[in-house]
């Protein structure tokens, strides 16, 4: 299927943060997250590194180690997670870098792409994980 959709990696990252948000002070094993959220271990490790790099989770390695949120679920938005995985939100490459399109200065669609990006970012920023888990 083609169209506007988040990547599998972003979907998995959202699942991970949702899972950790249910018991925010608990330290989870990566194997448990992998099993419960149906995420392959190799893929999980890659995503966890990105989430840790962006400061969304803490990873304690070694015996007694595990994974937990680095801040409360209400302080983590969908935008935070999308940005951690995708780097940015944009429907068209010209929104990220105008030099990718030679028509951008005369393009009537460019302002539309910019407006849509702003609306999507605003919407994703308004949704935090406490809000999501409380609507179950």
Cβ distance 100 to 94 under 8 Å?
A: yes
For residue 43, what pLDDT band results from cuts at 50, 70 and 90?
very high
Domain residue limits, the chain: 8-134
d(CA 21, CA 131): 10
- Both structure tokens of 71: 């801040």
CATH class of 8-134: mainly alpha
Q: Can you give the pLDDT at residue 3?
A: 56
pLDDT, one tens digit per residue, over 79-129 is 999 999 988 777 777 666 666 666 667 778 778 888 888 998 999 999 999
Q: Can you give the pLDDT at residue 5?
A: 76
């Amino acid at each position: 299927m083609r169209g506007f959709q988040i990547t599998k990696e972003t979907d998995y990252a959202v699942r991970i943060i949702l899972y950790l948000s249910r018991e925010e002070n608990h330290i989870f094993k990566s194997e448990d997250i992998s099993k419960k959220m149906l995420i392959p271990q190799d893929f999980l490790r890659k995503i966890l590194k990105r989430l840790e790099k962006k400061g969304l989770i803490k990873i304690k390695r070694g015996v007694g180690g595990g994974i937990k949120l680095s801040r409360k679920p209400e302080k983590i938005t969908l935008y935070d997670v999308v940005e951690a995985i995708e780097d940015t939100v944009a429907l068209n490459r010209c929104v990220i870098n105008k030099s990718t399109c030679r028509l951008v200065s005369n393009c009537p669609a460019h302002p539309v792409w910019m407006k849509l990006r702003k609306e999507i970012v605003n919407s994703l920023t308004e949704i935090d994980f406490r809000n999501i888990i409380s609507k179950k």
